Amino acid sequence: MRTQVAIIGGGPSGLLLSQLLHRSGIDTVVLERKTRAHVLGRIRAGILEVGFVDLMQEAGVADRMMRECLVHQGVIIADGDETFNIDFQDLTGTSVVVYGQTELTRDLYDAREAMDGKIIFNAENVEIHGAESDAPYVTYRVDGAEQRLKCDYVAGCDGFHGVSRQTIPGDVRRDFERLYPFGWLGVLSDTPPVHDELIYSSSKRGFSLCSMRSKNRSRYYLQVPLSDRPEDWSDAAFWQELKRRIPGAVAETLITGPSIEKSIAPLRSFVSEPMRWGRLFLCGDAAHIVPPTGAKGLNTAASDIHYLFNALVQVFEERDSEGIDRYSERALARVWKAERFSWWLTNLLHRFPEQDGFDQRMQRAELAFLRENRHAQTVMAQNYVGLPY
């Protein structure tokens, strides 16, 4: 089998790239290690920058999202019982939307199937060959049979544990990483959100976040030690601890209920350079990870897709390699800015085991400066809604 672009990974990044290229007349094949049902069973964040929304519209898959999404014009920052608002609309003239990643991925799958886009599920033992040559190809197994996919370019959208990044030789690749000494315990519940906007709370007991997926489904998070397990936390214990960490006035209005999903995610900052090796291009989690603070994971993947999509159109339609030659440079420039923002917000709001009294006073001073200074709020808002591509 042959295609123009082989895309490894059938998550939102790979599907969005495939959809954009398909609409530009460029043939793709998507290889996904799991089933469609498995991919759609993953619970992920759903805060989308304006750039991501624009890409979905360009891909022709934004109709349901625009009907059902929740528009957020700001966030609430809490320091104990004190709160203040970061008004995105006032500070930047734009906003973000909340639309669950599962629903977004379902929309992309439906669009690909409607256009007879080629997606191969249960593709095992994927290997990338000849990435430095003019004739790369990918081998994989389906139902025990070896398959070969010839292509012009390979897009690695297969996540942190995928094969794409590992294909780049160790003496070429340089990885940068910061591991954080805590995780986020997340609970999903069919309860109305406690507030119309997200609430990021810093407290003496640790960080918490009040978020949502819809008007009737909420997502809440607690900072917990890495040694904790989801089963260590009963629903009652989770709700009790959340109430201790959010402002008292908010806690009084919190509606609790049974959890429908509970998990713990470790926090890390990670970047692998370069994001291109020959005819192989890394996108999203295959190249970089951000802490969930500030919701940049899916959105940094979207900026990668923007740069790669336009570069591939440029090389196929105009025979101009400028876009692919500069892909890694352009993508990494924006990635590092998103990494900085997520790192800053994580350090601002969380309690670290090694913190002393001085460190805690610095956190409070930084929060006070953010609360009192419009310019500081504008910088935060600009980063939250998304820096330009």
145-150 sheet: strands from edge to edge: 124-129, 137-142, 145-150
For residue 45, the model assigns a pLDDT of: 67
Distances in Å between the Cα of 148 and the Cα atoms of 3, 139, 237, 287 are 11, 4, 52, 25
- 109, 307, 327, 384: the active-site residue: 384
Range list of β-strands (E), the chain: 5-8, 28-31, 47-48, 70-72, 74-79, 82-87, 96-98, 118-120, 124-129, 137-142, 145-150, 153-156, 174-189, 198-202, 208-212, 218-224, 259-273, 276-277, 280-282, 288-289
For residue 337, the model assigns a pLDDT of: 98
For residue 39, the model assigns a pLDDT of: 86
For residue 41, the model assigns a pLDDT of: 79
Q: What is the mean pLDDT of each run of 10 residues along the chain (389 residues)?
A: 97 96 97 89 81 96 95 96 97 94 93 92 96 97 95 97 97 97 96 96 97 92 97 98 97 97 96 98 98 94 98 97 98 98 98 95 97 98 96
Q: What tokens appear for 183 in the block?
A: 């995780």
Q: Are strands 174-189 and 259-273 parallel, antiparallel or unpaired?
A: antiparallel
For the entire predicted model, the pTM comes to 0.94
- 99, 109, 153, 200: the active-site residue: 200
Q: Is 292 a catalytic residue?
A: yes
AA identity, residue 68:
E
Element (H, E) at 388: none
For residue 31, the model assigns a pLDDT of: 98
Nearest-CA neighbor of 56 among 72, 45, 67?
Answer: 67
- 193, 247, 291, 292: the active-site residue: 292
Give the chain's domains with CATH numbers.
5-49+100-177+268-345 (3.50.50.60)
Contact (CB, 8 A) for 287 and 271: yes
Q: What whole-number distance in Å separates Cα of residue 104 and Cα of residue 11? A: 10
Contact (CB, 8 A) for 48 and 97: yes
Is residue 139 helix, strand or coil?
A: strand
- 296, 306, 327, 350: the active-site residue: 296
Is residue 174 helix, strand or coil?
A: strand
- 22, 72, 288, 306: the active-site residue: 72
Q: Is 388 a catalytic residue?
A: no
Q: What whole-number distance in Å separates Cα of residue 373 and Cα of residue 115? A: 50
